[in-house]
Amino acid sequence: MIPFHTLSERHLVYAYCAVWLLQFGYGAWLAVQWRKTRR
């Protein structure tokens, strides 16, 4: 179960989600650019 009851718990979840969103979002954007850029 995701801890979401206190401010600390919410911010812990936000921090981990923010990292995954930014890192894997950037990775996905790079993958799209890789496919779009002519060899």
Partner 1 sequence: MVSERQTSAGRGGWGLVWLGLTLAVLVMGFVKAMTAPTEATMGNLQRIFYYHLPHAILSFVFPYLNLAASLLYLWWRGRNRELALAADAFALASAEVTVLYASIGLTTGMLWARPAWGIWWTWDARLTTFLLLWLLYVSYLLLRQFSAAGQTAVISAVLAIFAAVDIPICYMSIRWWRTQHPAPVFGGGADSGIDPGMVPAVLWNVVGWAMWGTFVLGLRYAIERRRQRQSAEDALGYLGGDPSLPEAR
List of residues contacting partner 1 (CB under 8 A) = 3, 6-9, 11-12, 14-16, 18-19, 22-23, 26-27, 30-31, 33-34, 37-39
Does residue 19 contact residue 27 with C-beta atoms inside 8 Å?
no
Does residue 3 contact residue 11 with C-beta atoms inside 8 Å?
no
How many angstroms separate the CA atoms of 30 and 12, rounded?
A: 27
How near is the Cβ of 17 to partner 1 at its closest, in Å?
A: 10
